[in-house]
Amino acid sequence: MSTLADRYPSALVTGASTGLGAAFADMLLGEGIDTWGTSRDAARLAARPRLHALALDLTDGNAAERIFLDADRAAGGFGIVVNNAGYGVFGGFAETDFGVWQTQLEVMLVNTARLARLALRSMLARNRGALVNVSSGAVRFPLPFQGAYNMAKAGLAALSESLMVETAGTGVIVIDLQPGDYRTDFDRSVRRSPESFTSRQRRAWDAFARMMRSGPPPPHAAAALRRALRRGRSGTVRTGRFFQAVAGPFLARFGPSSWIRAFLMRYFESAP
């Protein structure tokens, strides 16, 4: 029986120094796959056999493309590319300077899509590969006061759906991985200004932080990705606690959108 390493001997994971990205990289390394892990500061990537630390900052799209192409050539063409890097910003959409939202969209959607395009072009030329775009459960259940994050993840999911159709019949698969809340340091790294929170924002932030702290550990998401890669077919993979992976998507599919909004306002206590 072939292994993942037989099919995909090399991989790249963006945002691999912490959280889900680190778990994805660990999983791929455990499968015997040479893995390039990226971080804005390569020194944050702990040295391990088969891990190639790579400094890559998605705030500069042109530089990110050059770095990706150099690494892709060095790897002989990445078999797997996991677009995972991202960050959160918490604040009122109207009150926050629009440049903050624009930068987040450029990093998490526009420049991530640039890497997806390069990865896909290389994979199609070899007629083999797996492109994994890590979107979020926020695609169906958007997080209050994190508008640009929701937009970026929804856009990335839409891109993945489009590419699944474009790559049908080829040797390339596209996976839209939609994790729910996981027990990472994501909430501690979200950019916010607590001193300016309104009472609604404070309630929503406290609920969000509790949700993140009570989620499954990151290896749970990595195991879901491993199963999807082993299946070897395109599709959407929802992972997280039961509500986010199963019950929530069922509600979103068959229930009216007003139910979802009511649920979100109650859960995050953000109603007036």
Residue ranges covered by each domain of the chain: 4-267
- Number of C-beta neighbours around residue 47 at 10 A: 7
Catalytic residue among 87, 149, 182, 267: 149
| Complete DSSP assignment for 156-211 | HHHHHHHHHHHTTTSSEEEEEEEE---SSSHHHH-B--GGG--HHHHHHHHHHHHH
Q: Considering the domain 4-267 in this protein, what is its CATH number?
A: 3.40.50.720
Token duo for residue 144: 């209050």
**Percentage of the chain exceeding pLDDT 70:** 99
Mean pLDDT of the chain: 94
Taking only the tens place, the pLDDT of each residue in 63-110 is 999 999 999 999 999 999 999 999 999 999 999 999 999 999 999 999
Instruction: Note the pLDDT of residue 185.
Output: 87
pLDDT band at 261 (very low <50, low <70, confident <90, very high): confident
Range from 10-19, 149-158, 160-169, 249-258 carrying the lowest mean pLDDT = 249-258
Residues 6+ positions from 136 with CB-CB distance below 8 Å: 149, 153, 178, 179, 180
Instruction: Note the pLDDT of residue 271.
Output: 60
Residues in the chain: 272
What mean pLDDT is predicted for residues 11-38? 98
Taking only the tens place, the pLDDT of each residue in 216-235 is 999 999 999 999 999 999 99
CB neighbour class for 272 (10 Å; exposed up to 12, middle 13-18, buried from 19) = exposed
Residues 6+ positions from 78 with CB-CB distance below 8 Å: 10, 11, 12, 36, 71, 72, 119, 122, 123, 129
Token duo for residue 174: 């596209």
Range from 2-6, 80-84, 227-231, 239-243 carrying the lowest mean pLDDT = 239-243
Residue 149 is a catalytic residue: yes
Instruction: Note the pLDDT of residue 1.
Output: 62
User: Is 11's pLDDT higher than 70?
Assistant: yes
Quote the CA–CA distance of 231 and 132 in Å, as a whole number. Answer: 13
Residue 69's alpha-carbon distances to 49, 72, 89, 119, 215, in angstroms, are: 22, 5, 29, 9, 35
At 80, give phi and psi (nearest 5°): -130, 135
Instruction: Note the pLDDT of residue 239.
Output: 96
Q: Are 87 and 189 in contact (CB under 8 A)?
A: yes
3-state class (DSSP) for residue 61:
helix
Quote the CA–CA distance of 62 and 59 in Å, as a whole number. Answer: 9
User: Is 249's pLDDT higher than 80?
Assistant: no
pLDDT band at 272 (very low <50, low <70, confident <90, very high): low
Instruction: Note the pLDDT of residue 160.
Output: 98
Which residue has tokens 């501690």? 188
Taking only the tens place, the pLDDT of each residue in 125-162 is 999 999 999 999 999 999 999 999 999 999 999 999 99
Taking only the tens place, the pLDDT of each residue in 177-211 is 999 999 998 888 899 998 989 999 999 999 999 98
Instruction: Note the pLDDT of residue 170.
Output: 98
CB neighbour class for 43 (10 Å; exposed up to 12, middle 13-18, buried from 19) = exposed
**What predicted TM-score, i.e. pTM, was given to this entire model?**
0.93
- Number of C-beta neighbours around residue 249 at 10 A: 18
